[in-house]
Amino acid sequence: MRVQRRVNLLVGTESGLMLLDRSGQGKVYPLINRRRFQQMDVLEGLNVLVTISVKYERIKFLVIALKSSVEVYAWAPKPYHKFMAFKSFGELVHKPLLVDLTVEEGQRLKVIYGSCAGFHAVDVDSGSVYDIYLPTHIQCSIKPHAIIILPNTDGMELLVCYEDEGVYVNTYGRITKDVVLQWGEMPTSVAYIRSNQTMGWGEKAIEIRSVETGHLDGVFMHKRAQRLKFLCERNDKVFFASVRSGGSSQVYFMTLGRTSLLSW
């Protein structure tokens, strides 16, 4: 995007704003770094440069699902050093059970959340709420497991996991792959891991599947039936815990190998 006035030239790029001095030796002066300039114009009468430059990736957001609303907080740096209220979306028709945030093409913030009816989106700028995927082939309420934002899709494509299935959709509710990820048994927990795989913890086994195709990459059988829940992934380890009602739980971990397989 370029704006030309008299001799000099302002150039907005994906990584910053530059001034091309055409009056002398043709030097280039960087004015603003590490910001994407999508559109700009000069208001000569006011000596003002008006730009559209959204830069979300340097902002940390915290998204919280409440009883019937979703709260979005943004990290405020020095002197505050805390998350501060950014947007609130209340009186949602479907109660949010899990929630995530995506940035479409580095510009548009959208909250993605799962409910007992399916998966929905909230446009952060307009506040509009719409459905992304409703599994109409299931008559009763569903259990959403995970919202996985697929890599290298500009935040536009998702793998939404519920019950014993996973469906590939985009943030506007269109099916993007004619493939359904199918777990061997009903998982109690599902998570995306850095090796570009998704893990499902069932009572009999842990399954590892390709996040791109849903194909089974590996399976680890339990010595005894138990319910397990994903905790977190740190460095080269995946941590999870047993889920026991009224009793103590045990924490386990698996180590990510160089071949992207997992071992105890």
Q: pLDDT digits over 64-110, tens only?
A: 999 899 999 998 888 889 999 999 999 899 999 999 999 998 888 99
The pLDDT of residue 4: 44
| pLDDT of 251 higher than 80 | yes
Q: What is the pLDDT of residue 45?
A: 65
Cα–Cα dist 96/113, whole Å: 6
Write the single-letter amino acid at 226: Q
Q: Can you give the pLDDT at residue 109?
A: 93
At 49, list the tokens: 């440069």
Beta-carbon contacts of residue 149 (< 8 Å; ≥ 6 apart): 100, 102, 112, 155, 157, 158
What CA–CA distance (Å, rounded) separates 144 from 161?
6
Output the CA–CA distances (angstroms, integers) from residue 169 to 21, 23, 132, 139, 166, in the order listed: 47, 52, 8, 21, 10
Whole-prediction pTM: 0.76
Percent of the chain with pLDDT over 70: 83
**Measured distance CA(228)–CA(243) in Å, rounded:** 6
Q: What is the pLDDT of residue 264?
A: 43
Domains, the chain, in order of start with CATH, read: 1-40 (no CATH), 46-182 (2.130.10.10)
* pLDDT value at 205 more than 80: yes
Strand-strand pairing, 98-104 and 108-114: antiparallel
pLDDT, mean of residues 114-143 = 95
Residue 194: is its pLDDT beyond 80?
yes
Output the pLDDT for position 60.
87
Mean pLDDT calculated for residue range 221-240:
88
**pLDDT value of position 22:** 67
User: Distance between CA 65 and CA 69 in Å, rounded?
Assistant: 6
pLDDT surpasses 50 at 263: no
CA–CA distances in Å: residue 158 to residues 39, 44, 47, 80, 142: 28, 44, 44, 34, 18
Point out which residues pair with 248 in neighbouring strands.
none
Per-residue CA distances from 253 to 187, 231, 239 (Å):
17, 10, 4
Cα separation, 10 vs 30, in Å, equals 10
Distance CA 53, CA 51 (A): 6
CA distance 193 to 207: 12
Pick the most confident of 178-182, 192-196, 231-235. 178-182
Q: pLDDT tens digits, residue range 26-77?
A: 788 787 766 667 677 766 666 666 666 575 667 889 999 998 999 999 988 8
**Mean pLDDT taken over the chain:** 85
Q: Check residue 28 and give its pLDDT.
A: 81
More confident residue, 22 or 159: 159
pLDDT of residue 52: 61
> How many Cα atoms are found within 13 Å in the side-chain-facing hemisphere of 104?
16
